[in-house]
Chains A and B, each alone.
Chain A
Amino acid sequence: MIYATNGAGDCKNAVSIKNLTVKYRETPAIAGVSLDVLEGDYLGIIGPNGGGKTTLLKAILGLVMPSCGEISVYGKKPGKSEKLIGYVPQISTLDKAFPITVRQVVQTGMLKPSFTLFHQYTQKDKEKADEYLNRVGIYKLKDRMISQLSGGEFQRMLIARALAVEPKLLLLDEPTASVDASSAEQIFSLLSELNQSMTIIMVTHDLLAVSSQVKTLACMNSRLVYHGGTQLNEEIAKALYGYPIDFLKHGAMHSV
């Protein structure tokens, strides 16, 4: 994979980040990151905890304000790009006991920004929701309460909800963090399939995914340590984590 540079040939940038710094009070979570993500790319972002990965996603989504620097998503400012991005949050941020069915969750992705009084989901909305559930492979579970789902099923439901937005760009925050190995594999093959029609940015701890699934890789430790192809070497890892790590061990980074 070629290093993604600005305006290369026919390729368009899905996301373009210039010299981004995000501070929480005085502590910078991200310091001077410039990064272009080409349309059709499948970018994996890795790095230690507290390395600013999630903050970067939130900045792209417009949930945190940059202290300086610029971000554009398909030429629009973050926060003005509502129907362009489908977001898949970490499972742990959600309440699994919330009384709602799988299909209802997917339908919330279809809500329009302006309020419609007495809004009801139409028959067409329901059919569309079923279609997305079918696409992620959990159509059978459409009427289940979300409390009855396994980690992998829950994650796929969140992907279906993100698809319901009909986005051009999919952002995922650790989609395999609370999922067993075989579900993780299914999720990755689903993402590869989705990548044929949309750009994907994924924050992950899963080194296996990094080496086998994504097209390009970004390594963050508040700065952008590396951006390019998926062949990591020990030097980069050392810059990232402060010591060499074993690339073959699945999930080794959890101990960092």
Chain B
Amino acid sequence: MLLSLFQYQFVQNAVIASVFASIVCGIIGVIIVEKRLIMMSGGIAHTSYGGVGLGYLFGFEPIIGALFISVLAALGIGYVKRRGGTRSDVVIGLFWSFGMALGILFIAMMPGYPPDLTSYLFGSILSVTRGDLYFMAIFTLIVVLVITILFNYWEAYMFDEEFASIIGIKTAFMEYLLFVLIAISVVVLIRVVGIILILALFTAPTAIAGLLAKNLKLRMILSIIIGSLFCFAGLWISYVLNVASGAAIVILLTIAYLLVYIAISFRFRNEIN
């Protein structure tokens, strides 16, 4: 029965989209968890809602609007963080709400009936089109390339940013680059889990991989595999139960993380005793 599902074009698309989403999450997730940029990524993701609204208002592809606004938000938040004047979590919080508010405003200004936006908020993996896939492929490729080309520098930056900057590595440039990559990843993920649920896909596979893998490359690869597996499982549940794919994936991931966490802490306790 499971195999016969693959005859459908939309199921094939959904599976491919899950893989792309897991790749960007595995790579970027490891970095943002290590650099403690999770809330910032959440801020960038939610701000992109303003871009979705902008797309609907002016009649262009909402995903392009989301990309545009989330890159702007990434650069803005990055700039404020670097200046260090205002506390960056205040700014992140503001961007977070402001972006969503803009989205609501733009949609309200649209003539005619408002479109259904739940697919952007909660993901709708089963409605991913060929065109969406091309988009996702390009962005995934960009993320993979930028990280692998400068891998040793990313490793040094992640372990000790201050030392890296002292030996002359352009850490400010790397930070902005990372923020833009986060914005690009958000766009890849919107169709799969939606804006609101993105944080779980960024953090849970990485956190599970972090409990198991002892090397940065391995940690990234493992979280890609874990992410893919849970996306497939979530996809199947969402098909069978007809619930939003994002919700199914996120609930599975959270339960899995809790189980692994409990298992590891039990083992740890036994080792001590």
Contact = CB atoms under 8 A, between A and B. Distances in A.
Interface in B198-228: 210, 213-216, 218-219
A105 to B, nearest CB: 7
Of A93, A115, A117, A120, the most chain B CB neighbours within 10 A belong to A115
Interface residues of A, number: 31
B59 interface: no
B35 to A, nearest CB: 10
Interface string A47-88: 000000000000001110000000000000000001101010
A99 interface: yes
Given A93-B162, A95-B159, A113 B169 contact: yes
Contacts of B168: 82-83, 112-113
Contacts of B151: 119
A118 to B, nearest CB: 6
A15 interface: no
Contacts of B152: 108, 111, 119-121
Nearest to B210: A99
Given A113-B169, A117-B149, A119-B152, A98 B163 contact: no
B272 interface: no
B167 A105 contact: no
Main secondary structure of the interface of B (DSSP, over half): helix
Contacts of A121: 152
A145 interface: yes
Given A100-B216, A119-B150, A82 B166 contact: yes
A111 B163 CA distance: 11
B162 A89 contact: yes
Q: 10 tightest A-B contacts by CB?
A: A113-B168, A82-B168, A108-B156, A119-B152, A117-B149, A87-B166, A99-B216, A98-B159, A99-B215, A99-B214
Interface of B: 34, 148-153, 155-156, 158-160, 162-170, 210, 213-216, 218-219
21 contacts: A63-B162, A82-B168, A89-B160, A89-B163, A95-B159, A98-B34, A99-B213, A99-B214, A99-B218, A100-B215, A108-B163, A111-B164, A111-B167, A113-B167, A113-B168, A117-B149, A119-B151, A119-B152, A119-B153, A145-B214, A161-B163
Interface of A: 61-63, 82-83, 85, 87, 89, 93-95, 98-101, 104-105, 108-109, 111-113, 115, 117-121, 145, 161, 165
